[in-house]
């Protein structure tokens, strides 16, 4: 299932890349004018360059967001592992206490039987 998903993702990536290249090829002569809101300057760039800038910006933002998500998930996994380990240790301690108490009870029963049979 995972292999089919990766193949589908690769095919989709190839199709989108080819569509972007076709868009850039067809629209390389068109110009786009925009006003930068940071410094109120007017810029004129080719539409193909704008498309490339948007794609690379999207790729960088996607990469950063996946890294942030991966980091958060790794922290959660580590926390769950520590919690599971502490629960396991506590369970082992409880089991050891129960065995010690059972041994004490058995010793007391043996001593009681010996005291009762002595009379």
Residue ranges of the chain whose pLDDT lies below 70: 1-2, 119
> Taking the model in full, what pTM does it have?
0.55
Percent pLDDT > 70 in the chain is: 97
Instruction: Look at residue 1 in the predicted model and tell me its pLDDT.
Output: 55
- Give CA separation, 65 vs 11, 36, 60, 70, 71, in Å: 22, 25, 9, 8, 10
The widest CA-to-CA distance across the chain, in whole angstroms, is: 114
């Amino acid at each position: 299932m995972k292999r089919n998903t990766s193949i589908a993702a690769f095919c989709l990536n190839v199709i989108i890349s080819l569509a972007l290249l076709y868009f850039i090829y067809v629209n390389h002569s068109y110009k786009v004018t925009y006003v930068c809101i940071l410094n109120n300057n007017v810029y004129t760039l080719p539409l193909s360059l704008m498309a490339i800038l948007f794609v690379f910006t999207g790729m960088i933002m996607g990469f950063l967001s996946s890294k942030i998500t991966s980091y958060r998930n790794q922290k959660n996994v580590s926390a769950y592992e520590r919690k599971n380990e502490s629960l396991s240790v506590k369970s082992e301690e409880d089991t050891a206490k129960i065995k010690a108490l059972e041994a004490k009870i058995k010793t007391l029963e043996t001593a009681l039987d010996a005291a009762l049979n002595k009379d």
